[in-house]
Amino acid sequence: MSADKLWSSSWPGAPLRVHSQSGVNEDAERQTDPITQLHADMERLIEESGLEWTILRSNTIASNGRGWAQQIRTTHAVRGPDIAATAVIHERDIAAVAVHALTEDGHVGAKYVLTGPQVLSRAEQVQTIGEAIGRLVTFEGVPVQVARRQMLADGRPPALVEALLASAESRPVSNVITSTVEEITGVPARTFRSWAEEHAEEFRWTSKPQTPRHLGDQLGAR
Protein backbone atom coordinates (compact mmCIF):
# COMPACT_ATOMS: atom_id res chain seq x y z
CA MET A 1 0.00 0.00 0.00
CA SER A 2 1.22 3.42 -0.74
CA ALA A 3 1.97 5.55 2.39
CA ASP A 4 -1.18 7.03 3.92
CA LYS A 5 -0.42 9.75 6.43
CA LEU A 6 -2.69 12.15 8.21
CA TRP A 7 -1.12 15.29 9.63
CA SER A 8 -2.84 17.82 11.80
CA SER A 9 -1.51 21.10 13.07
CA SER A 10 -3.00 23.83 15.22
CA TRP A 11 -1.88 27.08 16.80
CA PRO A 12 -3.48 29.21 19.51
CA GLY A 13 -6.43 31.02 17.97
CA ALA A 14 -6.14 29.13 14.69
CA PRO A 15 -8.48 26.40 13.36
CA LEU A 16 -7.36 22.79 13.11
CA ARG A 17 -6.01 22.03 9.66
CA VAL A 18 -5.86 18.51 8.23
CA HIS A 19 -3.75 17.20 5.36
CA SER A 20 -4.36 13.83 3.70
CA GLN A 21 -2.26 12.03 1.07
CA SER A 22 -3.99 9.64 -1.35
CA GLY A 23 -4.07 8.35 -4.92
CA VAL A 24 -7.73 8.93 -5.70
CA ASN A 25 -9.06 9.51 -9.22
CA GLU A 26 -11.49 12.44 -8.92
CA ASP A 27 -13.40 11.50 -12.07
CA ALA A 28 -14.18 7.90 -11.09
CA GLU A 29 -17.47 6.99 -9.41
CA ARG A 30 -15.71 3.97 -7.88
CA GLN A 31 -11.95 3.52 -7.65
CA THR A 32 -10.22 0.69 -9.51
CA ASP A 33 -9.05 -1.22 -6.43
CA PRO A 34 -9.92 -1.53 -2.72
CA ILE A 35 -6.91 0.42 -1.47
CA THR A 36 -7.64 3.47 -3.60
CA GLN A 37 -11.31 3.20 -2.70
CA LEU A 38 -10.30 3.35 0.97
CA HIS A 39 -8.40 6.55 0.18
CA ALA A 40 -11.52 7.97 -1.50
CA ASP A 41 -13.63 7.12 1.53
CA MET A 42 -11.08 8.82 3.80
CA GLU A 43 -11.18 11.94 1.63
CA ARG A 44 -14.98 12.06 1.89
CA LEU A 45 -14.83 11.81 5.69
CA ILE A 46 -12.25 14.58 5.84
CA GLU A 47 -14.29 16.85 3.57
CA GLU A 48 -17.35 16.30 5.77
CA SER A 49 -15.43 16.82 9.03
CA GLY A 50 -15.90 20.58 9.26
CA LEU A 51 -12.12 21.07 9.57
CA GLU A 52 -9.90 23.00 7.21
CA TRP A 53 -8.26 20.50 4.87
CA THR A 54 -5.93 20.08 1.91
CA ILE A 55 -5.64 16.83 -0.04
CA LEU A 56 -2.46 15.74 -1.83
CA ARG A 57 -2.96 13.04 -4.42
CA SER A 58 -0.08 10.94 -5.69
CA ASN A 59 0.16 7.51 -7.23
CA THR A 60 3.48 5.66 -7.06
CA ILE A 61 5.85 6.95 -4.37
CA ALA A 62 9.57 6.40 -4.95
CA SER A 63 10.24 5.11 -1.44
CA ASN A 64 8.04 2.08 -2.11
CA GLY A 65 10.95 0.82 -4.21
CA ARG A 66 12.61 -0.18 -0.95
CA GLY A 67 10.40 -3.26 -1.11
CA TRP A 68 12.74 -4.50 -3.84
CA ALA A 69 15.94 -4.04 -1.82
CA GLN A 70 16.38 -7.63 -0.63
CA GLN A 71 15.88 -9.12 -4.08
CA ILE A 72 18.23 -6.63 -5.72
CA ARG A 73 20.92 -7.12 -3.07
CA THR A 74 20.82 -10.90 -3.27
CA THR A 75 19.76 -11.83 -6.82
CA HIS A 76 20.24 -8.67 -8.92
CA ALA A 77 16.69 -9.10 -10.16
CA VAL A 78 13.16 -8.21 -9.08
CA ARG A 79 10.34 -10.75 -9.44
CA GLY A 80 6.77 -9.67 -8.83
CA PRO A 81 3.45 -8.72 -10.44
CA ASP A 82 3.72 -5.88 -12.91
CA ILE A 83 1.70 -2.69 -12.36
CA ALA A 84 0.81 0.03 -14.84
CA ALA A 85 3.36 2.80 -15.34
CA THR A 86 2.91 6.16 -13.58
CA ALA A 87 4.92 9.31 -12.90
CA VAL A 88 6.78 8.20 -9.76
CA ILE A 89 7.14 10.94 -7.14
CA HIS A 90 9.91 11.43 -4.58
CA GLU A 91 8.52 11.32 -1.05
CA ARG A 92 10.46 14.46 -0.14
CA ASP A 93 8.44 16.38 -2.74
CA ILE A 94 5.20 15.26 -1.10
CA ALA A 95 6.57 16.35 2.28
CA ALA A 96 7.65 19.73 0.89
CA VAL A 97 4.20 20.43 -0.54
CA ALA A 98 2.62 19.32 2.74
CA VAL A 99 4.69 21.85 4.68
CA HIS A 100 3.45 24.67 2.45
CA ALA A 101 -0.14 23.41 2.67
CA LEU A 102 -0.04 23.30 6.47
CA THR A 103 1.79 26.55 7.14
CA GLU A 104 0.62 28.94 4.41
CA ASP A 105 -2.68 30.50 3.49
CA GLY A 106 -4.37 29.73 0.20
CA HIS A 107 -4.38 25.93 0.31
CA VAL A 108 -7.54 25.22 2.32
CA GLY A 109 -10.02 23.13 0.32
CA ALA A 110 -7.49 22.39 -2.43
CA LYS A 111 -6.87 18.99 -3.98
CA TYR A 112 -3.41 18.79 -5.52
CA VAL A 113 -2.25 16.04 -7.90
CA LEU A 114 1.47 15.50 -7.34
CA THR A 115 3.72 13.60 -9.74
CA GLY A 116 7.32 13.18 -10.61
CA PRO A 117 8.65 14.46 -13.96
CA GLN A 118 8.65 11.13 -15.82
CA VAL A 119 6.26 8.20 -16.32
CA LEU A 120 8.09 4.97 -15.49
CA SER A 121 7.21 1.29 -15.63
CA ARG A 122 8.41 -1.12 -12.95
CA ALA A 123 11.06 -2.42 -15.34
CA GLU A 124 12.34 1.13 -15.89
CA GLN A 125 12.42 1.83 -12.15
CA VAL A 126 14.39 -1.37 -11.53
CA GLN A 127 16.78 -0.56 -14.37
CA THR A 128 17.35 2.92 -12.93
CA ILE A 129 18.21 1.46 -9.51
CA GLY A 130 20.67 -0.88 -11.25
CA GLU A 131 22.35 2.05 -12.97
CA ALA A 132 22.60 3.86 -9.63
CA ILE A 133 24.49 0.92 -8.07
CA GLY A 134 26.53 0.12 -11.18
CA ARG A 135 24.96 -3.29 -11.71
CA LEU A 136 22.59 -4.77 -14.30
CA VAL A 137 19.28 -5.35 -12.50
CA THR A 138 16.27 -6.79 -14.31
CA PHE A 139 12.54 -7.03 -13.65
CA GLU A 140 10.69 -10.32 -14.16
CA GLY A 141 6.90 -10.11 -14.16
CA VAL A 142 5.16 -12.84 -12.18
CA PRO A 143 1.54 -13.92 -12.82
CA VAL A 144 -0.90 -12.71 -10.19
CA GLN A 145 -1.94 -16.25 -9.28
CA VAL A 146 1.67 -17.16 -8.50
CA ALA A 147 2.05 -14.10 -6.30
CA ARG A 148 -1.21 -14.92 -4.52
CA ARG A 149 -0.03 -18.43 -3.61
CA GLN A 150 3.30 -17.15 -2.33
CA MET A 151 1.82 -14.30 -0.29
CA LEU A 152 -0.72 -16.60 1.36
CA ALA A 153 2.02 -19.15 2.06
CA ASP A 154 4.01 -16.36 3.73
CA GLY A 155 1.12 -15.92 6.15
CA ARG A 156 -0.25 -12.62 4.90
CA PRO A 157 -3.91 -11.86 5.67
CA PRO A 158 -6.12 -12.94 2.73
CA ALA A 159 -7.94 -9.57 2.64
CA LEU A 160 -4.62 -7.71 2.32
CA VAL A 161 -3.41 -10.11 -0.37
CA GLU A 162 -6.54 -9.57 -2.45
CA ALA A 163 -6.41 -5.80 -2.05
CA LEU A 164 -2.79 -5.64 -3.18
CA LEU A 165 -3.36 -7.96 -6.12
CA ALA A 166 -6.44 -6.03 -7.20
CA SER A 167 -4.19 -3.00 -7.56
CA ALA A 168 -1.74 -4.96 -9.69
CA GLU A 169 -4.51 -6.24 -11.95
CA SER A 170 -6.71 -3.19 -12.33
CA ARG A 171 -4.70 0.01 -11.96
CA PRO A 172 -4.84 1.88 -15.28
CA VAL A 173 -1.85 3.37 -17.04
CA SER A 174 -1.45 7.04 -16.14
CA ASN A 175 0.48 9.43 -18.36
CA VAL A 176 -0.39 12.38 -16.12
CA ILE A 177 2.55 14.66 -15.27
CA THR A 178 1.82 17.81 -13.31
CA SER A 179 3.88 20.87 -12.42
CA THR A 180 2.18 21.24 -9.03
CA VAL A 181 5.29 20.50 -6.97
CA GLU A 182 7.22 23.31 -8.62
CA GLU A 183 4.25 25.71 -8.55
CA ILE A 184 3.88 25.30 -4.78
CA THR A 185 7.49 24.85 -3.64
CA GLY A 186 9.34 26.82 -6.32
CA VAL A 187 11.56 23.79 -7.04
CA PRO A 188 11.05 21.22 -9.84
CA ALA A 189 9.96 17.74 -8.80
CA ARG A 190 12.86 15.35 -8.20
CA THR A 191 13.48 12.48 -10.62
CA PHE A 192 13.34 8.80 -9.71
CA ARG A 193 16.98 8.61 -10.74
CA SER A 194 17.87 11.13 -8.04
CA TRP A 195 15.99 9.00 -5.50
CA ALA A 196 17.81 5.86 -6.65
CA GLU A 197 21.19 7.59 -6.34
CA GLU A 198 20.35 8.88 -2.85
CA HIS A 199 19.41 5.37 -1.69
CA ALA A 200 21.92 3.33 -3.69
CA GLU A 201 23.56 1.80 -0.61
CA GLU A 202 20.28 0.16 0.36
CA PHE A 203 20.45 -1.87 -2.87
CA ARG A 204 24.13 -2.84 -2.92
CA TRP A 205 24.62 -6.54 -3.53
CA THR A 206 25.86 -9.12 -1.02
CA SER A 207 28.36 -11.90 -1.68
CA LYS A 208 25.97 -14.80 -1.07
CA PRO A 209 22.88 -14.76 -3.31
CA GLN A 210 19.78 -16.25 -1.75
CA THR A 211 16.12 -16.56 -2.63
CA PRO A 212 14.03 -13.76 -1.08
CA ARG A 213 11.32 -15.06 1.18
CA HIS A 214 8.54 -12.61 0.42
CA LEU A 215 7.52 -12.36 -3.21
CA GLY A 216 4.59 -10.29 -1.96
CA ASP A 217 6.94 -7.52 -0.84
CA GLN A 218 7.13 -6.44 -4.45
CA LEU A 219 3.53 -5.23 -4.33
CA GLY A 220 4.57 -2.47 -1.98
CA ALA A 221 5.67 -0.25 -4.85
CA ARG A 222 2.29 0.99 -5.99
- Per-residue pLDDT tens for 53-81? 898 988 889 999 998 999 999 999 998 88
In CATH terms, 6-220 corresponds, of 3.30.2270.10, 3.40.50.10320, 3.40.50.12780, 3.40.50.720, to 3.40.50.720
Give the least confident one: 29-38, 54-63, 199-208: 29-38
Task: Kindly report the length of the chain.
Answer: 222
pLDDT of residue 41: 84
Q: Which of 6, 8, 67 is nearest to 42 (CA)?
A: 6
Domain residues of the chain, as ranges?
6-220
Read off φ and ψ for residue 65, nearest 5 degrees.
-60, -15
User: 3-state DSSP call for residue 59?
Assistant: coil
Q: What whole-number percentage of the chain has pLDDT above 70?
A: 78
CA 215 to chain centre: 18
Q: Are the C-beta atoms of 91 and 60 separated by less than 8 Å? A: no
Confidence of residue 26 (pLDDT cuts 50, 70, 90): low
pTM: 0.78
